[in-house]
Amino acid sequence: MLSETFLLEKMAEITVSESDFKERGIAETDDSFKYAEEEVTATVQAILFKGGFCDSTTGENSFVCLVLDRTPFYCERGGQKSDQGEIRARDGAVLSVLDVQSVGGYVLHYGTVDGCFVCGGEAACAVEKERRAALRRGHTAAHVFDEFLFQEKVPRSDFSVVVFPDQIRIEVVKRAWTRDEIESAEKHMEEHIKRNLRLETEIVPLEEVLQRKDILSVFEEKYPKSVRVVTILGVSSQACGGTHTETTGELVDAVICGEKSLSGGKRKVTVAVGKKAVSARRKEREIEKYLQEEQNEDVLSKLEKYLKDEGGIPVGSRRAVEECLAGAKKRRAREEKERERAGIKDLEQKCLEIISSDEAVFVFSPPLSRKETAICLSRCNEKNKKVFLIQKSEAGAEYSISLGESSQGVGEKIKEKYGGRYWGKGCVSGMLSGECRPEEVARFVKDVLKQAGSL
């Protein structure tokens, strides 16, 4: 399956206008079959690919566009995403239909082809039923949510809806949704689902539609002389050319899974229905279970993964997870500060022991951090204490020397004896291989310092 971005790029490569078809004498597509479930046999009227029109498909143009004389595929329009499915030629060639668009009265079927289609050849068109059913649920959910917005006195010009399989996305001019408003919207939809209201369609003259106040979402310039009106019995009617369920009960459930800010004072709300709503409820229960458990790192890691599921968990669950993780972050910060304060006390004690000691060579295990080492050397310098610090590390052994002018000389002797490297002048730091034992190096340095008369 092509990614959505790549699909759009491939579709953009095929440019065609309504006049291109008319100049070739190609008849408009009869799409009156788009509300049925049955396969439709059609004739291929045109084949397009990146280079333009062609008479047949070959292996060189695997992404193509077919225009048929008739089609059961619903093309993207009215905010509803298109059908997908297959178109099969008599000789076995298959077009996997990934997107369907329209140019004037022509329906364009975009997809990847396997085999050879020829202009004038017959083909069987089959819509993917599961996606069609999910789009039906999505569009019916859109009408139910529209009614909620109308009840909330939101003008039709202030919101738009895009219908996906088992999901709708609403962009509405509004401030951030409160928890009560989200619960109210979900309750509105759940009540309609429980009532299992029937949907009916009728064809109504445009003049009558414009006169009837009970029909919502009417834009005069978008509709033909005869308008298809979809009615949720006892609730609302809308002029609509989309596909719908037979009852509101088919939505199964409705869950608001997203609410975020957009530019221009708009908010985007994502509502899941059908299978996506069932999945969201399952994740909601999982999250509630984790929130009741001890908030250890394993549980927090699992909760964090849910936040990456954009539009897949209820808004309430997402906010609860965010609050939980924010609280955990604050706790970790407090604990880190406490550890840091305790570490500083321990370090100050170590510094005091070093400064007060007659020794000049010290071995640390576990090792000090680079910051702790720097602090320790700084404290020693303040008290004019000359020291050699060596400590075990994952790489082997690290050392720091604060012996004044003799620091480099000691570093050079360590390098001659054990290899490794050192850097710096007044205060020298170095690193030895993993084979060196810090205690042995410490004894060697003591001998060097004794010979130099520094001890």
- Structure confidence at residue 123 as a pLDDT band (50, 70, 90): very high
For residues 178-194, average pLDDT: 94
Is the pLDDT higher at 186 or at 360? Answer: 186
**pTM of the predicted protein model:** 0.76
133-274 maps to which CATH number?
A: 3.30.980.10
- Structure confidence at residue 141 as a pLDDT band (50, 70, 90): very high
The yes-or-no verdict on residue 199 having pLDDT over 60 is: yes
> Is residue 149 packed enough to be buried (19+ CB in 10 Å), middle (13-18) or exposed (0-12)?
buried
- Give the CATH fold of the 357-451 domain: Diaminopimelate Epimerase; Chain A, domain 1 (3.10.310)
Class for the domain spanning 4-127: mainly beta
pLDDT at residue number 221: 52
Comparing CA positions, the residue from 48, 42, 50, 40 lying closest to residue 24 is: 48
What pLDDT digit, counting tens, does each position of 24-79 carry?
999 999 999 999 889 999 999 999 998 899 999 876 658 999 999 999 999 999 89
- From residue 36, how far is each of 33, 42, 74 by CA, in Å? 6, 15, 10
What pLDDT digit, counting tens, does each position of 289-321 carry?
999 998 898 999 999 999 988 779 999 999 999
pLDDT at residue number 209: 87
The yes-or-no verdict on residue 218 having pLDDT over 60 is: no
Letter string b/e over residues 278-315, b meaning 16 or more CB atoms within 10 A of that residue's CB: ebbbebbeebeebeeeebeeebbeebeebeeeebbbbb
| Whether the Cβ atoms of residue 201 and residue 228 lie closer than 8 Å to each other | yes
For residues 186-203, average pLDDT: 96
- Structure confidence at residue 217 as a pLDDT band (50, 70, 90): low
Tokens 């609280």 correspond to what residue? 327
pLDDT at residue number 59: 64
Q: Cite the residue boundaries of each domain of the chain with CATH code 3.10.310.40.
A: 357-451
Tokens 């999250």 correspond to what residue? 287
pLDDT at residue number 196: 97
Q: Cite the residue boundaries of each domain of the chain with CATH code 3.30.980.10.
A: 133-274
For residues 134-149, average pLDDT: 95
Distance between CA atoms of 94 and 90, rounded to whole angstroms?
9
- Structure confidence at residue 256 as a pLDDT band (50, 70, 90): very high
- Structure confidence at residue 222 as a pLDDT band (50, 70, 90): low
Distance between CA atoms of 230 and 248, rounded to whole angstroms?
13
Percent of the chain past pLDDT 90, that is, above it, reads 56
For residues 343-362, average pLDDT: 82
What pLDDT digit, counting tens, does each position of 410-451 carry?
888 888 888 888 888 777 888 887 677 788 888 888 888 888
